[in-house]
Every structure is written in structure tokens, then in C-alpha cells.
Amino acid sequence: MWVYGDRSRTVKPRQALRALTATLREVESGTASGSDRHDRLTTAFLLASELAQGIADAEFRTKGLDEPSPTQEAAMALLVALARKLAASAWSAYTSVGPPSSAELMGLALSALPDEVEVKTPKGFALDAVYPEAYLKAAGERPWDSPPLVIGIRSAGAGLAALVAAVTNASKVVTLRPMGHPFHREVRVSDEVRRSLGAHLGPFAVVDEGPRRSGSSFAAVADLLEALGVAPERIVLLPSHAGDVGPEALPEHRTRWASATRRPASFDALIAEEPLAGWFEDLTGSVKFIEELSGGAWAVEDKEIPVHPGLERRKFRLTTEQGTYLAKFAGLGVSGEAKFARARTLARAGATPEPLGLRRGFLLEKWIEGERGPRADRAALVEHVGRYLGLRALAFPAVAGDGANLEDLAVMARMNVAELKGDAAADALPRPPARTKPRPIHVDGRLHRWEWLTLPDGRLIKTDALDHSAGHDLVGCQDVAWDVAGARVELDLDDDETAELCAIVARVCDRPIDEALLDFLDIAYPAFQAGLWTAARDAATPEQRPAIETQIARYVARLS
């Protein structure tokens, strides 16, 4: 099944450096303070991390291997300087931002920068609540016999390595890009890198988010070090969680992971020391009780709602004397800021809950009580959904690279249908329309019945509406026709209702729905969803599987 995707975007390093400089000036000018200033500093750090990753990857593509360069070293020097500022802010309760970084900014500005680089927003920072402060804590609290040589695994590892280096007085920082099959990655490095690693006599800190399904990126770096004669006890792994490697790990890598020295930099360890309640009390009042709703816990009382724990964001219900609130991870830096902006737009239109604030990557909103699923009559439902989708088409434009193109969707549909129904069914699928020019937007992508709340006064509210266009899946941003196809499936619209929905969307956003595109997406949408929920079933508990099986069957029926 093809479900997941890995997108990048092209940036011009000098433009990115100017934006980074402007953000740092804002931080150091005193216009913001406290946690708001810390959030802006985090944004600057993540921008610098992406830039360092993009520069290193550009040189990797040119040379076919990882090799140090003055430009990479200048980018890392800036990143380590910003990591020290982030540590100063975090450890001073946000009263300090540490020493200036003007010298490091100038050093990178005077370097030989490429015209363009490809950068990636790491999944951990945008979706999985991977926190820089957790790495500062994990590395800073470990006793090191001598300064480590830090190896960051790109993409996320570029910034994470700088954090570890900042608090360990690291002797050197290297970033590497594992390549190859996702479950069997390997690293390609120059002789200079090999000599540098082999000459280091102290400990090594290997840093990344994850591990996920295989842990092959961590394994690739550990394989390299062991091939260079580094004893296992000199290698310290700093992952983002304390769990095991995933089900696709090779047996020898699983064995090594179990015995390795690990220093997890987990969100749970971070909030154990700095409770989440304190992040929002200026907005909520004193928090009396916190209930975690992550991993599908919000649906535990309704066994008919299928959940995909791997796609669930960290979320918490906060109970205070002033009321009840929902805090959900929206993303650090620019990622979270964009989702917060979308939340405000949708709330002003009465479509979603009102966001009260974005604090350290978590979006806070009032808890809304309602009955799950739309309860309005069919005509009112179609009218409401049409206006909602039309608003999204009007307000949230995107660019083509932010999502899969039609050819990729066609390949995905063929692969998934072949696995579900056989090659003959896959061969009969329609090709994507040749003359269609989709207009990508930040689609909702999650129009399932249980994602709607009917309030006591009859109003319909959409939940989970902010980030499925920016997830880790293949689809990403698409034409609004993707959501029309989704509404047709998830809300069981008949042909007349779908035609009316198209007319309402077109009236609101002032552009018609392309009928040929919709015909194609009527197949691509259930093919994708069937693959997505098949992946969920494979990782589900026995109690979760019946609801997931029912959901898969609905999509397969649509492919007949």
C-alpha cells in the first residue's frame, strides 16, 4: 500500500537568512517577552535548522556522499549559537535569550551559499511533539566523561545535534543523510569524515527523532561507527522516545538497540518536570485536572469509531474553575503558526472551535460538548458542508509542491487497489484527466462523520480541521475537489446531493468543480483511505480492529 509521502520545498538561502535575521531581531528587541519570545526564538532555531539541512543535502547531492565544507560548518556554528540561546531562555524561565549571534549570522552570510536548496520540515517538530528543550534536558543531564562528537541524522538531526552540542561542549558536530530503502538505510561518507570519526577517542552522541518503523537511520550510523572500530559502549543514542524500534527492524539492529546506551529526549519527560498545566494558566486559570486524550483515547467510549493512533496528535483536556479546554499539539515554529492562523479564520466563520492561543506548539481552545456526527436534515447538511469547503478553497491557497500530483495519486490508487482487489481491478481504473489543472488548497482531508459535532442548539462544528493537508501522508494539499470526493464518501451523499454540494462550493469560492477531476478523485480518495486504514489495522489492538475493518470495507465497496 502507498500511504505516506515525504515532501520538501525549495528556498533561496540568502532570503531564508534574511527572514531568520528579522526573527532574531524581533526576539532581541524586547517586543515580545516570556513564553511568546521563547516561541519566536524556537521559530528562528527551526528556520536555521532547515537551512543547515538544506545546505548539507545540496552538497550531498553534488558529491554523492557526506563531506564537510566551510559553508556547512558556518551553518552549524550559527545553529549551535541559537541552540545556546534557546537553552538560556528555557533554563531562565524565559527571562534571558543568551548572548547575541551576530558573528555567526555574518559568518554564514559571507559563506559561498548555493542559489537554492531543498528543505524539509521534520515530522517531529510539526506533528509528533518533538521538543528542542527535551534534547537540551536529556543531553545536559547525562554525565559525559569527555566532550562527545555529535552526529545528527538529517533532516531533524541537524537541529537536534546542535542542541546536544550546545550543552555538552561537543568537540565536533557532523550531520549525515542515510539513504536507500526506508527499512535498510546506509550512510555514504568521504574519507575525511571516516578519518575524523576514527580519530575521536571519546564518546559519540547519535541524535535524531524517532525511531519509527525500522530504526534503520540510527542503525546505519551505528553500523558506520562499529565498522570504524568504535566500541558500542562509546556510542550514546538520543532518540525522541523511550520505546523499541519498529516492526520492520532487522533482528541484529533490534538486538543492538536493546543493549545500546540510550538517552531518550521525550515530551513526557519534559512535561514531568515542567507540567503542561503551567503553559496555559494565564489563559485558563488554575488547572485542576488534566486528562490525556492522545492515541485515540478521546474515542475510547465509542467502539464504533475507528482510530489510527499513529496519526493522532498529542492532546489534553484541561479542567479549570473557568471551564474545560482542549490543548492539542499543532506544531513548533512556522508550522504551528500557520495552523493557528487557519484556526482563527475558520472560527470567525463559525465553522470550528475558537482558538484561544498558541503556546509552545500547543493550540488551546474551549472544550465543546456536542453529539458526534451531523444531525441536521440532509439539505441543511449539504449547505453547511458546501459553505465550509468553499471557505477553505477561498481562504487557504497552496502551491503545487505541497501535495501529490495527479500522476502520483493515480499510481497510489493502482497500487492500493491491486493489493485490495487484484491486478484486473487496478488495470480498469481511470487515468487522471489530462487537461485538468488542479488548484491546490489546504484541504480538510478528514470529513469523517465522527469529526463533526452537533451542538445542543443544532449548530454543526467541524473538529480536527487544521493539519491534514500538512501531514506525513502522500496526499497533502489538493484541489477542493478532493474534499468534495471525501464528503461524498464520508457523509454518504447521493448524486443529487453531490451536485448541489459542488454548486454551493463553486458559488462560495467563485470557481466550478472540475467534473473530470472529481470523477478521478472519486476513485483516488477511497483507494487512499483504504490503504491508510489498512495500515492502521496492522498496528491496531484486537479491540480496535472491528471498527477499522468496517471502515476499510466501506472504502473497498466504493472501488467496485
- Distance, in Å, from the CA atom of 37 to the CA atom of 295, rounded to the nearest integer, reads 31
Q: Are residues 294 and 405 in the same domain?
A: no
Let me know how long the chain is: 560
Question: In the numeric block, which cell numbers belong to residue 547?
Answer: 471498527
Question: In the numeric block, which cell numbers belong to residue 486?
Answer: 471525501
Q: Are residues 264 and 286 in the same domain?
A: no
Looking at 270, 305, 322, the residue that finishes a domain is 270
Q: Scanning the structure block, which residue is given the C-alpha cell 500557520?
A: 338
- 426 within some domain: yes
Residues 333 and 306: beta-carbon distance below 8 Å: no
In total, how many domains does the chain have? 3
pLDDT tier for residue 252 given thresholds of 50, 70 and 90: very high
Q: How would DSSP label each residue in 370-410? A: -EES--S-HHHHHHHHHHHHHHHHHH-B--GGGB--HHHHH
- 1 within some domain: no
- Distance, in Å, from the CA atom of 166 to the CA atom of 175, rounded to the nearest integer, reads 15
- Amino acid of residue 114: P
Beta partners for 473? 4
Helix, strand and coil percent figures for the chain, each rounded to 5: 50, 15, 35
The percent of residues in the chain predicted with pLDDT above 70, rounded, is 100
Instruction: Name the average pLDDT for the chain.
Output: 95
Q: Are residues 403 and 482 in the same domain?
A: yes
Neighbouring CB atoms inside 10 A of 25's CB total: 11
Q: Are residues 295 and 384 in the same domain?
A: no
Handedness of CA 478, 349, 459, 454 (dihedral sign): positive
Residue 433, phi then psi, degrees to nearest 5: -65, 130
Q: Which region among 48-57, 102-111, 172-181, 530-539 has the lowest average model confidence (pLDDT)? A: 530-539
CA 321 from centre of chain? 33
Distances (CA, A) of 348 to 284, 345, 352, 388: 21, 5, 8, 12
142-172 pLDDT per residue, tens:
999 999 999 999 999 999 999 999 999 998 9
- 185 within some domain: yes
Cα dihedral: 82, 86, 87, 88 (round 10): 100
- Distance, in Å, from the CA atom of 261 to the CA atom of 239, rounded to the nearest integer, reads 11
116-127 pLDDT per residue, tens:
999 999 999 999
- 4 within some domain: no
The more confidently predicted of residues 514 and 376 is 514
- 3 within some domain: no
Residue 239: closest CA among 227, 230, 249, 229? 249
Q: How would DSSP label each residue in 77-139? A: HHHHHHHHHHHHHHHTTTS---S--HHHHHHHHTS---S-EEE---HHHHTS---HHHHHHHH
Q: What is the pLDDT of residue 304?
A: 87
- Amino acid of residue 76: M
The average pLDDT across 79-105 equals: 95
pLDDT tier for residue 299 given thresholds of 50, 70 and 90: confident
pLDDT tier for residue 190 given thresholds of 50, 70 and 90: very high
Cis before 211? omega within 30: yes
Q: What is the pLDDT of residue 310?
A: 78
CATH number for position 113 = 3.40.50.2020
Residues 467 and 459: beta-carbon distance below 8 Å: no
Q: Are residues 472 and 358 in the same domain?
A: no
The more confidently predicted of residues 558 and 308 is 558
pLDDT tier for residue 543 given thresholds of 50, 70 and 90: confident
Q: What is the pLDDT of residue 538?
A: 83
CA 429 from centre of chain? 31
Q: Are residues 418 and 316 in the same domain?
A: no
Q: Has residue 301 got a pLDDT over 80?
A: no
Q: What is the pLDDT of residue 444?
A: 98
65-90 pLDDT per residue, tens:
999 999 999 999 999 999 999 999 99
8-61 pLDDT per residue, tens:
899 999 999 999 999 999 998 888 889 999 999 999 999 999 999 999 999 999
- Distance, in Å, from the CA atom of 363 to the CA atom of 252, rounded to the nearest integer, reads 41
Q: Are residues 297 and 435 in the same domain?
A: no
The average pLDDT across 354-380 equals: 95
Q: What is the pLDDT of residue 75?
A: 98
The more confidently predicted of residues 295 and 84 is 84
* Secondary element (H or E) of residue 365: strand 362-366
Q: What is the pLDDT of residue 518?
A: 97
- 441 within some domain: yes
- 411 within some domain: yes
Reading across the β-sheet that carries 315-320, which strands appear in turn? 287-292, 315-320, 323-329, 362-366, 355-359
Q: What is the pLDDT of residue 541?
A: 85
Q: Which region among 189-198, 403-412, 536-545 has the lowest average model confidence (pLDDT)? A: 536-545
- Amino acid of residue 539: A
Residues 50 and 20: beta-carbon distance below 8 Å: no
Distances (CA, A) of 516 to 239, 385, 493: 46, 21, 18
Q: Has residue 221 got a pLDDT over 80?
A: yes
Looking at 366, 396, 418, the residue that finishes a domain is 366
Q: What is the pLDDT of residue 388?
A: 98
Q: Are residues 221 and 198 in the same domain?
A: yes
Question: pTM of the predicted model, to two decimals?
Answer: 0.94
Q: What is the pLDDT of residue 401?
A: 87
Could you tell me where the DSSP H helices lie in 467-514?
Answer: 481-490, 495-509
Beta strand 287-292 with 323-329 is unpaired
Q: Are residues 13 and 57 in the same domain?
A: yes
Q: What is the pLDDT of residue 291?
A: 96
For the chain, helix (H) and strand (E) counts, in that order, are 20, 15
Neighbouring CB atoms inside 10 A of 377's CB total: 9
- Distance, in Å, from the CA atom of 268 to the CA atom of 289, rounded to the nearest integer, reads 17
CATH number for position 505 = 3.90.1200
The average pLDDT across 523-547 equals: 92
Q: Are residues 340 and 248 in the same domain?
A: no
Q: Are residues 288 and 256 in the same domain?
A: no
Q: What is the pLDDT of residue 169?
A: 95
Q: Has residue 300 got a pLDDT over 90?
A: no
The average pLDDT across 109-120 equals: 96
Q: Are residues 262 and 289 in the same domain?
A: no
The more confidently predicted of residues 6 and 478 is 478
Looking at 322, 350, 366, the residue that finishes a domain is 366
- Structural domain range at position 535: 371-558
Handedness of CA 241, 330, 372, 550 (dihedral sign): negative
The more confidently predicted of residues 262 and 376 is 262
